[in-house]
Structure 1
Amino acid sequence: MRYFRVTRGSDQRLVASDGETAYDLTSASGGPATVEELLASADEARQGLDESAEAYLDDAEECEFDDDDVVLPVEPPEVWASGVTYQISEEARQEESDKPDVYIDVYESERPEIFFKATPSRTVGPDEAVGIRADSTWDTPEPELGVVLFDGEMVGFTIGNDMSSRSIEGENPLYLPQAKVYDRCCSLGPCVVSLSEVDDPHDLEMTMQIHRDGEVAYEGTTNTSEMVRTCEELTSYLTRHNVVPRLTVLLTGTALVPEGDFTLREGDEIEIDIEGIGTLTNPVTTV
């Protein structure tokens, strides 16, 4: 199942789609209004996410919605991210930095790079603007598979955009928090896909296009099979000796980095597609 949060006038509803029919779970008696509520219900009943949703389907109204109705699917108190999980990411970090050895060490080490990415106030949903810092001169999106965690366990997947200031991080790796954490620095969506819907999260095609002035300014394709870490491994390191909120999203790194000195501009549009999940689209603004 895919789970969307959809606006209906002033209301927001939780909609489950099996690819053929969409069901307004919120319309069912006692139906959940958010993915987090559905996950809590599943946990209480010791069920999987889809199994819990199926309990509401007979009582839920069938519905239709379009892309304009879809909003941020989850609002995790914390979004975390992983770095240097693909070879091209390691190469890009070396390119931007005067201290490339630290990225080589992370790529080859047992311990991955895990860093704090965003709070709800810094996270946007589909078709909302992502930000580039006004004090940065080199900015790129980072399309990533997002792992949705509940009580520290993997329960689903989404798409994430880990917006980054390469000029700030390139000055000094210790500036990473400023390069990564700022207004509108993260987008998630368009939905949450349950674990059972994805046969293998390490074999998904991922594409990104950046549109500028009506033309494609960048286009790239990769596959999550190119990751040198697994989702389980990254989750394990995130939750070691670290109590994360009950609902958390972990971004798993990128392999799509625009070449050379390409930088985002205000008015660009970023389109990220991951096989089996959907397409996340965001315009770009300066913050």
Structure 2
Amino acid sequence: MKYYRVAADGSPRLAVRTADTAYDLTSAKAELTSFLDLVRAASITDRTIDEVTDQLVGNADEIDVDTLESDIAAPVAPSEVWAAGVTYQISEEAREAESAMPDMYREVYNSERPEIFFKATPNRTVGPNDRVGIREDSEWDVPEPELAVVLYRGDVVGYTIGNDMSSRSIEGENPLYLPQAKIYDRCCSIGPCVTSAAGVGDPHDLEMSMTIERDGEQVFEGSTTTANMAQTCEDLVSYYNRHNAVPELAVLLTGTAIVPDESFTLQEDDHVSIDLEKIGTLENDVTVV
């Protein structure tokens, strides 16, 4: 099942899509206005989120699918967004190429311990159709499309799409500048929905693609599969949880394998579209912050 946050008329509501039918879960249970409300209910009753939803849809109002897609906001509001790096070979090669210290990226790619870093707070994270940011003090900026794991108290409850916006010029200048390259206003987008863990099945068998348009013309296209990940989602989540006071709801981005070449940098008003099998399409325009 796919879960959406609908922001129609300024009143947040939780919606679910099953095959070609969409339902307003808030109409069936007024207390359910967010994905967090749903996972709390599932935790209290010791059921999965899909099992709770199955019980509710019979009393829920149907929603037109086109209306659902047009009114969506970020599907979750995680207290924290974290990210993993160098989990695909092409990412390792790209970060070697941009850096004056390439060996450190090669060592991480071949290491058992992954790179896990803090990415964003709620006020730095945007949803579908909102604008993602590129830093005004950066000369080389790229989107990074990623499978994102949605966690409740450290346990996997679903998956969404993440865009880990990055300044390659700042990180390339010195790896210690990574927080400035990664954490800033509008540095992350997530959406368009959360697909339950059962709905995704194997997270390491998903096709992913990204296109970038500028002035109505396509200037970049790339694709990959999550089968190329050097680390499993299970391992990444395990390291994220270790000795860490994790929040109730968090998102963990799992790294990128779609990297524009060195001649490409994002510009104001570029349109980024990320498609991930079994989840959907995350679209954002770009602005300078």
Q: Is this a same-fold pair by TM over 0.5?
A: yes
For 1:106, the aligned partner's letter is V
Match among 85, 88, 91 for residue 87 of structure 2: 85
The residue matched to 1:92 in structure 2 has which SS?
helix
* TM-score, normalising length: structure 1: 0.99
Q: State the 1:31 CA deviation.
A: 4.5
For 2:47, the aligned partner's letter is Q
Q: Which residue of 1 aligns with 2:45?
A: 45
The residue matched to 2:137 in structure 1 has which SS?
coil
Tell whether 2:29 aligns with 1:29.
yes
Q: State the 1:89 CA deviation.
A: 0.1
Mark the runs of 5 or more structure 1 residues left unpaired by the alignment. Answer: none
Q: Which residue of 2 aligns with 1:277?
A: 279
The residue matched to 1:88 in structure 2 has which SS?
helix
For 2:195, the aligned partner's letter is V
Is the CA contact (8 Å cut-off) linking 2:25 and 2:32 kept in structure 1? Answer: yes
The residue matched to 2:149 in structure 1 has which SS?
strand
Is the CA contact (8 Å cut-off) linking 2:22 and 2:68 kept in structure 1? Answer: no
The residue matched to 1:15 in structure 2 has which SS?
strand
Is the CA contact (8 Å cut-off) linking 1:2 and 1:191 kept in structure 2? Answer: yes
Mark the runs of 5 or more structure 2 residues left unpaired by the alignment. Answer: none
Q: Which residue of 1 aligns with 2:269?
A: 267
Q: State the 1:68 CA deviation.
A: 2.3
Q: State the 1:66 CA deviation.
A: 4.0
Q: State the 1:58 CA deviation.
A: 1.6
Match among 218, 223, 226 for residue 225 of structure 2: 223
> Structure 2: how far apart are the matches of 1:30 and 1:13?
9
Q: State the 1:12 CA deviation.
A: 1.5
CA RMSD of aligned residues (A): 0.8
> Structure 2: how far apart are the matches of 1:148 and 1:52?
18
* TM-score, normalising length: structure 2: 0.98
Q: Which residue of 1 aligns with 2:245?
A: 243
Q: How does 1:104-115 map onto structure 2 within 5 Å? A: 104-115=106-117
For 2:69, the aligned partner's letter is D
> Structure 1: how far apart are the matches of 2:282 and 2:71?
13
Aligned residue-pair number: 287
Q: Which residue of 1 aligns with 2:213?
A: 211
Moved over 6 A (4+): none
Q: How does 1:1-287 map onto structure 2 within 5 Å? A: 1-64=1-64, 65-287=67-289
The residue matched to 1:80 in structure 2 has which SS?
strand
